[in-house]
């Protein structure tokens, strides 16, 4: 319980610091949001009136407290570009990005662990070298390039889907999920490769441990040693990496959403950056940081459940 409370308090402190740094960063960037909204032809009087209505005349601490209080109550402000509440914009785009990230994460777990285990088991053989080559290839290819290849091969040549013809989840959920398959693979592939390589290295390192040699001396088969002894210890750093992988999933989805014309949070973030929509940008950064922090918190809880040594250190 103490371990959980310490990690939870660290999570809250992290989010508080992220909110401070995010708000400060976007409020010291040169440029007046009121001038950006009204344009260069606006009069000084109209700019001053808009600044007053947006609360830009207040001090930075006052504006932060008002913004942070709104975040706690679900009020993220109003987008300067769309003239809509940020919360409603996120609610309309979040299902797309959440489904994309969820599908990518499932693919990472389903493929990286078997690939890492087989690469370690076949280490030194031609099959192991082949898996290592595939892993290195996936590590070198960025997600957006894989997405372009998928559009060319599976969209244009094989006609598995129609590039650019996004299917809305509210109209056809099955068609929506089918359209997300190739974007999810494009996001997942680099993360599958990194997780598999990390797990392979951890398994090979554990194979030289004393407890493995003891199990072998007792006549335990290699498969049983791998399944019952090595994997439990080798999986701990891999689970830690999976928690950090969430950040890679969201950073990869930002570009992949552009490639596949997906109206998700990634495209919303790029649009907010290009238009200097600070209220929207602040909320998006805090939202992504919150998801990454939650993922790492859950990874810590899972590691504690898997590794009994963590209970002794708590």
Report d(CA 151, CA 157) in Å as an integer: 9
Confidence of residue 62 (pLDDT cuts 50, 70, 90): confident
* Residue 307 · residue 233 · CB < 8 Å: yes
* Closest-CA residue to 81 (of 267, 286, 309, 304): 267
In this structure, what DSSP letter does residue 314 have?
-
Query: Is residue 220 left, alpha or beta, with left meaning phi > 0 and alpha meaning psi from -120 to 50?
Result: beta
DSSP per position, 64-97:
HHHHHHHHHTT---B-TTT-SBHHHHHHHHHHHH
Question: Above 90 in pLDDT, residue 184?
Answer: yes
- Residue ranges of domains in the chain: 33-75, 90-313
* Residue 302 · residue 242 · CB < 8 Å: no
* Residue 311 · residue 304 · CB < 8 Å: yes
Supply the CATH classification number for the domain 90-313.
1.10.3720.10
Lowest mean pLDDT among 26-35, 231-240, 263-272: 26-35
The arithmetic mean of pLDDT across residues 110-116, rounded, is 91
Confidence of residue 167 (pLDDT cuts 50, 70, 90): confident
Please, is 298 exposed, middle or buried when counting C-beta atoms within 10 Å of its C-beta (0-12, 13-18, 19+)?
middle
Write the pLDDT tens digit of every residue in 279-295. Answer: 888 888 888 888 888 88
Write the pLDDT tens digit of every residue in 227-256. Answer: 777 887 887 778 778 777 887 788 788 888
The predicted pLDDT at position 110 comes to 92
Question: Above 80 in pLDDT, residue 85?
Answer: yes
243: which residues sit within 8 A by CB, 6+ positions away?
A: 295, 296, 298, 299, 300
Question: Above 80 in pLDDT, residue 259?
Answer: yes
The predicted pLDDT at position 92 comes to 86
* Residue 200 · residue 119 · CB < 8 Å: yes
208: which residues sit within 8 A by CB, 6+ positions away?
A: none
The arithmetic mean of pLDDT across residues 260-278, rounded, is 83
Write the pLDDT tens digit of every residue in 132-141. Answer: 888 888 888 8
Calculate the CA dihedral of residues 28, 29, 35, 37 and round it to 10 degrees: -110
Size (the chain), residues = 314
The predicted pLDDT at position 299 comes to 80
Dihedral sign computed on CA atoms, order 65, 67, 68, 72: positive
Question: Above 70 in pLDDT, residue 310?
Answer: no
Counts of helices then strands in the chain (DSSP H, E): 14, 0
In this structure, what DSSP letter does residue 168 have?
P
pTM: 0.82
If one compares 176 and 217, the residue with the highest pLDDT of the two is: 176
The predicted pLDDT at position 39 comes to 67
If one compares 73 and 101, the residue with the highest pLDDT of the two is: 101
Mean pLDDT across the chain, nearest whole number? 83
Report d(CA 242, CA 134) in Å as an integer: 20
The predicted pLDDT at position 99 comes to 92
The predicted pLDDT at position 47 comes to 75
Question: Above 90 in pLDDT, residue 107?
Answer: yes
Confidence of residue 31 (pLDDT cuts 50, 70, 90): low
CB atoms closer than 10 angstroms to residue 280: 26
* Closest-CA residue to 283 (of 76, 18, 33): 76
The predicted pLDDT at position 36 comes to 67
* Residue 187 · residue 214 · CB < 8 Å: no
216, two tokens: 């072998």
Query: Is residue 164 left, alpha or beta, with left meaning phi > 0 and alpha meaning psi from -120 to 50?
Result: left
């Amino acid at each position: 319980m103490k371990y959980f409370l310490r990690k939870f308090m660290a999570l809250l402190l992290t989010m508080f610091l992220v909110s401070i740094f995010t708000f400060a960063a976007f409020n010291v960037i040169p440029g007046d949001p009121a001038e950006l909204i009204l344009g260069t032809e606006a009069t000084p009087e109209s700019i001053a009136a808009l600044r007053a209505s947006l609360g830009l005349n207040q001090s930075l601490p006052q504006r932060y407290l008002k913004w942070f209080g709104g975040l706690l109550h679900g009020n993220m402000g109003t987008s300067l570009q769309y003239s809509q509440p940020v919360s409603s914009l996120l609610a309309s785009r979040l299902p797309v990005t959440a489904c994309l990230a969820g599908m990518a994460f499932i693919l990472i777990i389903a493929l990286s662990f078997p690939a890492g285990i087989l690469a370690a088991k076949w280490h030194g053989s031609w099959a192991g070298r082949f898996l290592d080559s595939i892993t290195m290839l996936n590590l070198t290819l960025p997600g957006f390039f894989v997405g372009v290849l998928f559009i060319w091969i599976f969209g244009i040549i094989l006609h598995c889907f129609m590039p650019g013809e996004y299917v809305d989840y509210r109209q056809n959920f099955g068609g929506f999920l089918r359209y997300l398959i190739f974007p999810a693979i494009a996001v997942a592939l680099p993360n599958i490769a990194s997780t598999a390589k990390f797990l392979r290295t951890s398994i090979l390192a554990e194979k030289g441990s004393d407890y493995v040699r003891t199990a072998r001396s007792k006549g335990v088969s290699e498969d049983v040693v791998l399944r019952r002894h090595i994997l439990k210890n080798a999986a701990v750093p891999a689970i830690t990496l999976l928690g950090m992988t969430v950040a890679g999933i969201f950073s990869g989805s930002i570009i992949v959403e552009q490639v596949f014309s997906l109206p998700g949070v990634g495209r919303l973030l790029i649009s907010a950056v290009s238009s200097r929509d600070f209220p929207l940008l602040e909320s998006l950064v805090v939202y992504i940081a919150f998801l990454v922090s939650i993922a790492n918190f859950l990874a810590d809880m899972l590691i504690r459940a898997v590794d009994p040594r963590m209970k002794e250190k708590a």
